[in-house]
Amino acid sequence: MTETRAGFVALIGEPNAGKSTLLNRMVGAKISIVTHKVQTTRARIRGIAMEGQSQIVFVDTPGLFKPRRRLDRAMVKAAWGGAGDADIVVLMIEAHRGLTEGVQAILDSLGEHTAGRPVLLAINKIDRIEAPMLLALTQKMNAAFPFAETYLISAEKGYGVDDLKKWLAGALPAGPWLYPEDQIADLPMRMIAAEMTREKLTLRLHQELPYELTVETESWEEKTDGSARIEQLIYVQRDGHKGIILGKGGETIKAVSQAARTELETFLGRKVHLFLQVKVRPGWLDEAARYSEIGLNFKDGD
Ligand X SMILES: Nc1nc2c(ncn2[C@@H]2O[C@H](COP(=O)(O)OP(=O)(O)OP(=O)(O)O)[C@@H](O)[C@H]2O)c(=O)[nH]1
Q: Which residues bind Mg ion (CB under 5 A)?
A: 19-20, 40-41
161 vs 272, beta carbon nearer Mg ion: 161
Q: Strand 5-13: give its sheet, edge to edge.
A: 45-51, 54-60, 5-13, 88-94, 119-124, 149-152
Assign 196 to helix, strand or coil: helix
128 vs 299, beta carbon nearer ligand X: 128
Q: How far is the CB of 23 from Mg ion (least distance, A)?
A: 8
Backbone phi and psi for residue 210, each to the nearest 5 degrees, phi listed first: -60, -25
In terms of C-beta density within 10 A (0-12 exposed, 13-18 middle, 19 or more buried), how is residue 29 classed?
A: middle
154 vs 232, beta carbon nearer ligand X: 154
Q: How far is the CB of 43 from Mg ion (least distance, A)?
A: 10
18 vs 102, beta carbon nearer ligand X: 18
- Site of interaction with ligand X (CB under 6 A): 13, 15-21, 34-36, 38-41, 62-63, 124-125, 127-128, 154-157
Rounded to 10 degrees, the C-alpha dihedral 137/138/144/150 comes to 150
Q: Which does 62 bind (CB under 5 to 8 A by kind): ligand X, Mg ion, none?
A: ligand X
Q: Which does 155 bind (CB under 5 to 8 A by kind): ligand X, Mg ion, none?
A: ligand X
Q: How far is the CB of 89 from ligand X (least distance, A)?
A: 14
Please state, in angstroms and as integers, the Cα–Cα distance from residue 267 to each residue in 28, 192, 261, following that order: 12, 10, 10
Closest residue to ligand X using C-beta atoms: 63
